[in-house]
Structure 1
Amino acid sequence: MTGAPGEHLVLASGSAARRDMLAGAGVPFTVRPADVDEEALKASLTHVDAVELALELARAKALAVSRHDSEAWVLGADQTLAFDGGLVSKAPSLEAARIRLATMRGRSHQLHSGAALARDGRLVWSGVDTVTLVMRDFSDAFLDAYLASEGEGLLACVGAYRLEGMGSQLFESVDGDYFTVLGLPLWPVLAELRRVGVLAS
């Protein structure tokens, strides 16, 4: 599937899951991860909730790359995890991941996946989608086996799990869109790419 002549999309994210989603949907794009200090941005946005933070991070990434490529449509994306009234960041170690998952088992949390589209250094569109996930009350033995199987790759995931892998066994239910769990509100993004002519309608 191709878009209008001359319309080019850049994904401002290094996420393999987001690359796979776009490629699987037949979207032509190139990748240029945004040089954004996420921790500094989060520190400056302590007044916003998890939903707005996902949007702000996605917008910042789209704009950061768009300012250096005025001819391309730039897609930024980010995801936040809300649990027990607070915001969860990526675990710094497998032991930290173990503690976090043990705390979350038998309980629910929300994933908010934000996306933003920019052109010529200007924000054109942004949106967010939310999924509620309920972890089952898994055993310590399963948790240990899971961490051993998945390894340090989990540290790149905000929830220390990949639903497309063995992490699916951590859950008893997921209320919302599967793509949103993976890190991109894919249906709204595809609709916007059709609207601006990156994809054929």
Structure 2
Amino acid sequence: MTDLVLASGSRIRAELLRNAGLTFRIDPAQVDERAVEAPLLESGFSPEDIAQVLGEAKAQETSARNPGALVVGADQVLEFGGARLTKPDDMEAARRQLLAMSGKTHALHSAAAIARDGETIWRTVRTVRMKMRAFGPEFVGRYLAVVGDDALASVGAYQLEGRGVQLFDAIDGDYFTVLGLPLLPLLEELRRQGVLET
């Protein structure tokens, strides 16, 4: 049986793979994301391309430590108003970010890659467009008080699988991509690789 490794410490990504019936090990990538991003940003790479490069870098780094294994790496980048947003550093940053996005649409680019022996053998990136409903400072304050530090664990200061769903009017794209893993194309490739039954 093929050894499958997830190069991510994300609880949600692991849960998605488990729920799909996969057996795998977890070995989070040791990649300095900001160091990888810096030259990409200087060169004008799009947020979508940055997500793809980061997903591949994570798969390759972990793959080098797991000879012969198929290693899944993933990354997600939020694009809003032509800029790339990262996870908020603190609750005040989360509050400002949510208020800025209120009533507006942003894009989430979720990338996945599979590497074997340090080389990428498959990659994809999927985009979801998400429209937040209009809300004010009072709502944001109450929301952040309820979700607490969970708001700092995701790039948009929300987790759609929880109370974050209350922030949205419309979502154009697939749910798994919102959660940070383009699961359907990944499963198709794992079938092609013989990890899953066809």
* Residue in 2 that maps onto 1:89: 86
Aligned pair partner of 1:20 in 15, 19, 22: 15
Q: Which runs of 5+ in 1 are unaligned?
A: none
**Structure 1, residues 54-113: CA drift from partner, whole Å, max 9, x if none?**
100000000001111112100000000000011111100011000000000000000000
Q: Distance between the aligned counterparts of 2:38 and 2:152, measured in 1?
A: 21
- AA in 1 matched with 2:4: L
Pairwise CA distance, 1:27 = 1.1
Pairwise CA distance, 1:139 = 2.7
Q: Distance between the aligned counterparts of 2:71 and 2:134, measured in 1?
A: 41
Q: Distance between the aligned counterparts of 1:192 and 1:69, measured in 2?
A: 19
Pairwise CA distance, 1:138 = 1.5
* Residue in 2 that maps onto 1:120: 117
Pairwise CA distance, 1:187 = 0.3
Q: Distance between the aligned counterparts of 1:81 and 1:50, measured in 2?
A: 7
Q: Distance between the aligned counterparts of 1:112 and 1:24, measured in 2?
A: 22
* Residue in 1 that maps onto 2:193: 196
Pairwise CA distance, 1:156 = 1.4
Q: Which runs of 5+ in 2 are unaligned?
A: none
**Structure 1, residues 92-147: CA drift from partner, whole Å, max 9, x if none?**
00110000000000000000000000011111000000000000001322211110
Are residue 55 (structure 1) and residue 71 (structure 2) matched?
no
TM-score with structure 2 setting the length: 0.97
State the secondary structure of the residue aligned to 1:45.
helix
Instruction: Kindly report which structure 2 residues correspond to 1:178-189, keeping only aligned pairs within 5 A, or say none.
Output: 178-189=175-186
Pairwise CA distance, 1:178 = 0.4
* Residue in 2 that maps onto 1:71: 68
- AA in 2 matched with 1:20: E
Moved >3 Å (runs of 4+): none
Q: Distance between the aligned counterparts of 1:96 and 1:121, measured in 2?
A: 36
State the secondary structure of the residue aligned to 2:197.
coil
Are residue 168 (structure 1) and residue 168 (structure 2) matched?
no
Cα root mean square deviation, aligned: 0.7
Q: Distance between the aligned counterparts of 2:195 and 2:115, measured in 1?
A: 12
* Residue in 2 that maps onto 1:11: 6
Deviates more, 1:44-53 or 1:172-181: 44-53
Deviates more, 1:118-127 or 1:138-147: 138-147
* Residue in 1 that maps onto 2:38: 43
State the secondary structure of the residue aligned to 1:131.
strand
- AA in 1 matched with 2:116: R
